[in-house]
Amino acid sequence: MTEVYQFVEEIFKDYGQYSDNFEENQMLPSKEVLLDICSILLNASCLPEEGRYSTFRVCFISPDSEYLDSYIYSRVCLFSEPIELSIGKLHKLSPALNAEISCLMLDVTRKPYSMIGILSAHTSLFENLMTFSAKGTRMPRIPNIMVEKPGRLEFCCGETPLVCYSAGEVTHFRTNTFTSTLVADQLRNGSSVQESDRLLFLYKIMSLIHSYEHGGHVFVVPNGTSLPDIVDVKYRLPAHLFGDNKGDHLSIDTARKKDISVYADLIARLSCVDGGVVINKNLDLIGFGAQAIVDLTNIAPPKMRFVTSDDQVDTGKKFNDNGMRHRACYRFCELVDDSVAVIFSQDGSIKACTKAEGEVVVYQNVAVPMI
């Protein structure tokens, strides 16, 4: 329980840091209560129902909160009678919950705790139906706890994960990787794509590739770069973000989002093929099924700098700590000037790296930010 207690402690730290993004009168329950809830959630997460493990969210917001009135689409469905919150009853109910659009509402004001209803709410019904936007933009910014998979909990603001508990470890997520880091600077360098377009594209493919649970990686190279011998692109498939019109015909914001979203869907799906997807800084597709064979070279490991979510250097991390996919991406960034690699692990973690000042800089625990 020590690690779960640490998870709760970190939740309260992040809640204080992001409190401006939460409803004014929505307070988290006490640490003691939250520890009870997390223990129930962890136990329920490890029980399969109908042959599968459920992914769902729980929240503590009052069903009559005025905060919910600010959303175009918001629906609160209350059970005729509150249901006592227990591992067994939650396990049976969890398949009915959808972590992408809803939260199970809990009443923790007194014991025994109870499940009182289901909240379904979106920041924009139109964008939700058309699925133009990446995750992180649809659910209201209500603090919630998501059961992501067996033994894994995430404290979130809306859909944005902030702190994770998994296999006895507590980690923080980084949400500014593509806006205010060396990776962000490198992606802007030489790109003619608008910042908002690039972010929507990146957040969309991150969300999709993460959901595939397949793992993969995306190489971003400078425009006009001839790929070196260290990269073998099996399937060459040139394509452009806005086709041949460069987006000039998409003056309406929703039409532009739709074009970016459809293109991002294409790129993300290509990651399911063994090998990486290669794009340039204008987000033009070069090909997929790319193998970086640099890990086979007989040269010394590159100088590495692993950066934590609070911008500290993790001196305990080494080049050889990860598998071949990670090492190949690190070496790729070392040898291909001005490049970026985004790495998706099968366990759900995301890293992004680039080279700066003679070092390969790796940002760990990347997440889609609050938009």
Look at residue 320 in the predicted model and tell me its pLDDT: 85
Most confident among 59-63, 111-115, 193-197 (mean pLDDT):
111-115
Task: Please list, in sequence order, all residues whose beta carbon lies within 8 angstroms of the beta carbon of residue 309, skipping any fewer than 6 positions away.
Answer: 171, 172, 173, 174, 364, 365
Closest of 334, 335, 327 to residue 361, by C-alpha? 334
Reported as a single tens digit per residue, the pLDDT across 275-304 is: 999 999 999 999 999 988 765 556 788 999
Q: What is the H or E stretch that residue 292 is in?
A: strand 285-292
Tell me the sheet residues that pair with 166. 152, 169
Percentage of residues in the chain having pLDDT higher than 90: 49
For every residue of 87-107, DSSP letters joined together read HHHHHHHGGG--TTTEEEEEE
pLDDT, tens digit, 9 for 90 and up, residues 87-136: 999 999 999 998 888 899 999 999 999 999 998 876 554 444 444 444 44
Q: For the chain, how far is it from start to end, CA to CA, in angstroms? A: 34
pLDDT for position 296: 55
Higher pLDDT, 277 or 226: 277
Q: Which two tokens stand for residue 207?
A: 């969300």
Q: Which is more confidently placed, 72 or 111?
A: 111
Give percent of the chain above pLDDT 70: 85
Computed over every residue of the chain, the mean pLDDT equals 85
pLDDT higher than 50, residue 142: yes
Of the two residues 126 and 196, the one the predictor is more confident about is 196
Q: Is the pLDDT assigned to residue 50 strictly greater than 90?
A: no
Report the pLDDT value the prediction gives residue 16, as an integer from 0 to 100.
75
Find out whether 115 and 133 touch, Cβ atoms under 8 Å: no
Confidence of residue 86 (pLDDT cuts 50, 70, 90): very high
pLDDT of amino acid 114: 97
Give pLDDT, residue 128: 46
Residue 256 dihedral angles phi and psi, to the nearest 5°: -65, -45
144-158 pLDDT, tens per residue?
A: 999 999 999 999 888
Classify the C-alpha dihedral 329-331-334-337 as positive or negative: negative
pLDDT, average across residues 47-53: 86
Q: What is the rounded distance in angstroms from the CA atom of residue 77 to the CA atom of residue 105?
A: 9
Nearest to 285 by CA among 262, 305, 307, 304: 262
pLDDT of residue 93: 94
What pLDDT digit, counting tens, does each position of 1-14 carry? 678 999 999 999 88
Report how far residue 108's alpha carbon sits from residue 46's, in angstroms, rounded to the nearest whole number.
23
Q: How confident is the model at residue 55 (pLDDT cuts 50, 70, 90)?
A: very high
Q: Is the pLDDT of residue 192 over 80?
A: yes
pLDDT given for residue 300 in this prediction:
83
Q: Domains in the chain, ordered, with CATH? A: 2-172 (no CATH), 182-363 (3.40.1700.10)
Question: Among candidates 322, 45, 17, which has minimal Cα distance to 160?
Answer: 17
What tokens appear for 36 in the block? 């009870």
Q: What is the pLDDT of residue 94?
A: 93
List of residues 6+ apart from 117 with CB closer than 8 A: 63, 76, 77, 78, 79, 104, 105
CB 342 within 8 A of CB 217: yes
Burial grade of 1 (CB within 10 A; 0-12, 13-18, 19 or more): exposed
Q: What is the mean pLDDT of residues 197-222?
A: 89
| pLDDT tens digits, one per residue of 313-354 | 999 999 988 888 899 899 999 988 999 999 998 877 899 999
3-state secondary structure of 223: coil
How confident is the model over 227-254, as pLDDT tens digits? 766 788 999 999 988 765 554 554 557 7
Say if residue 83 is exposed, middle or buried (CB neighbours under 10 Å; 0-12, 13-18, 19+). middle
Query: 3-state DSSP call for residue 154?
Result: strand
